[in-house]
Structure 1
């Protein structure tokens, strides 16, 4: 356990959340959020264990030293002068959390963080809020709408079994490699099943890390490393496997498709990196168009949907060609958006996320 010397826990609560006590959860959050390094001397983070709350509220409390974040007038948490009576809050400014929204830059969404009294009757509902609070607001259609409930179920099982996020990542990585081998052999349906499980586990490991406060630097590197590297291999070996269906592309067509798919993928990533470097935010949270386009842009999950539909029609070759075209179209859209952002900045107008502008 790291430095929690600036943490003051109020009361006690025996109701577990994600397989741990609320006190243990708050201690993990305090370490993960590095409160000892971010709170001024003479101040402390007061946390009422009667409540469970979204981890982002710790950051909001640190931004507002001397302010008590409350529900119904009762302290939930706050960075207050050390020695403050948390039950009276005499002379302390209060910020009610009821229906209050904040912009979460890490998860790319405008949200109303949950904060609720933790009781045995409400523990599963609070876990659900915690889980969905860890979901990115700007992501693809499949991750956002298709498998959240399945991933929640798996995340709960993993937490109860004491699995770490790295264990889930390792299982997913093995399935990712297995899917690649199956694609190369033209066993598309089995490969897509393995790929589907991997894609769901790719959600589970991140949610498990955030919900149980067990994320790590190297775990994050491994998770994102697998995500970043494997898609071009999937598309390449999908093309190799077409020969097993008697639908192999000509050498020239295969080369053109691979150039479009691989170069397009790399260049899109470069554009996203440039946007973050030059404007300090993800390109997909700039304006509402960008957030909506992220639902379908040529990333792994939407691309797999294209291949699934084409294979269902008995033409996995056309699916790969359509994937290549969609990659090129998505690349053009992102390039245009980057150019528009540069032009807007040159005109003196600020580049601000629409979510920040919408925040109260």
Structure 2
């Protein structure tokens, strides 16, 4: 929905607590703007109690429920006041100066059913009191909320905590997400050139730092309300395009490293990797177009396989251990094999979903 279709967003009260180095009210306005809420709306108003912090998913959920108030315990957190209803009593209730919530239906943040499929996870969106003593907990909750529930094993487990501290530091320093993406892009290119000339360990170092920054920029954008269409294109465009170039550079660098492969064989391996990568992306797009959800969230096994499927991060793990054994050439062979296995898995899953749909049973995500 656009800002004019949504209710107008209005913070209630003031809170001096800083979140990610930002004034909490300004951060709330930015997050609301990124979610499609502006100062003007459709005649209704969405009131936000600044004594609380909340997952942006709650904004969309309460916006879908005119005449409701999200409560934490007995305290009002977010209220969707319909057009024609006086918001003053609700504002007063949020400020603790009397007022009334009688005109609204209460939605308990601990028990409400929430449509939370956007980030492909099952965790309930958070609502937390906001104050100096709870700022760290709120920042961690906001950071965790920005994570897709279905991603690769490195992003989800290995550098989740380090990336949090980097995200918080970048926010406190006032760094823009696109600046972080730009630094990452430079490291991505540097990794390509190191791989090309067989300097694999230096390439690994540049590549892994880039991979961490690739997590930080998106989290920084979501946690500070600084998301933009250009930033999304910039970030995801790099993610989509660069992996085949890395594998090409890796293959080229084998000669300089001292473990060359026969040229025709190396070309065959590289073709399997690149074609398999593109084909998997096509399958993902077809699945999304046909069933309105990511292929990785259809069944639990799909989410589990996403942890290790032949994407950049798991592929780098394969190459890392091959390099540790002094055999980057074997790493390329294993990468081609794993790409083919992953392609077969996703191809079979698409065929199974089509068969289920043909039988009249539309595939539904296990996260629903």
Q: Separation in 2 of the partners of 1:239 and 1:9?
A: 55
Q: Separation in 2 of the partners of 1:312 and 1:29?
A: 44
Q: Residue 329 of structure 1 aligns with which residue? A: 341
Q: Residue 60 of structure 1 aligns with which residue? A: 61
- 1:113-134 per-position Cα deviation (integer Å, ceiling 9, x unaligned): 1111101011011101100110
Q: Separation in 2 of the partners of 1:348 and 1:123?
A: 49
CA contact (8 A) 2:353 2:363 kept: yes
The 3-state SS of whatever aligns with 2:22 is coil
The 3-state SS of whatever aligns with 2:233 is helix
Q: Separation in 1 of the partners of 2:194 and 2:347?
A: 34
Q: Separation in 2 of the partners of 1:290 and 1:38?
A: 42
Coordinate RMSD, CA, aligned: 1.7
CA contact (8 A) 2:7 2:46 kept: no
Q: Separation in 1 of the partners of 2:30 and 2:222?
A: 11
Q: Aligned-pair distance for 1:255?
A: 1.4
- 1:126-166 per-position Cα deviation (integer Å, ceiling 9, x unaligned): 10110011011000000000001111111111101100000
Q: Aligned-pair distance for 1:110?
A: 1.3
Question: Which shows bigger deviation, 256-265 or 14-23?
Answer: 14-23
The 3-state SS of whatever aligns with 1:163 is coil
Quick check: 1:227 aligned with 2:239? yes
Q: Separation in 2 of the partners of 1:353 and 1:176?
A: 34
Q: Residue 47 of structure 2 aligns with which residue? A: 46
After superposition, the Cα gap between the structure-2 partners of 1:101 and 1:189, relative to the gap in structure 1 and judged at 3 Å, is farther
Trace 1:239-254 onto structure 2 (pairs within 5 A).
Answer: 239-254=251-266
The 3-state SS of whatever aligns with 1:104 is coil
Q: Residue 174 of structure 1 aligns with which residue? A: 186
Q: Aligned-pair distance for 1:111?
A: 1.8
Q: Residue 113 of structure 1 aligns with which residue? A: 125
Q: Aligned-pair distance for 1:112?
A: 1.1
Q: Aligned-pair distance for 1:36?
A: 4.8
Q: 1:279 aligns with which of 273, 276, 291?
A: 291
Q: Aligned-pair distance for 1:245?
A: 2.4
Q: 2:152 aligns with which of 117, 126, 140?
A: 140
Q: Residue 83 of structure 1 aligns with which residue? A: 86
Paired positions, count: 354
Quick check: 1:10 aligned with 2:20? no
> Structure 1 stretches of 5 or more lacking a match?
none
Q: Aligned-pair distance for 1:289?
A: 0.8
> Structure 2 stretches of 5 or more lacking a match?
94-99
The 3-state SS of whatever aligns with 2:15 is coil
- 1:24-64 per-position Cα deviation (integer Å, ceiling 9, x unaligned): 122112222223599643x2101101001111110011111
- 1:202-237 per-position Cα deviation (integer Å, ceiling 9, x unaligned): 000000000000011011001001000000010111
The 3-state SS of whatever aligns with 1:68 is strand
Normalising by structure 2, what TM-score?
A: 0.93
Q: Aligned-pair distance for 1:99?
A: 5.3
The 3-state SS of whatever aligns with 2:69 is strand
Q: 1:27 aligns with which of 11, 15, 29?
A: 29
The 3-state SS of whatever aligns with 2:14 is coil
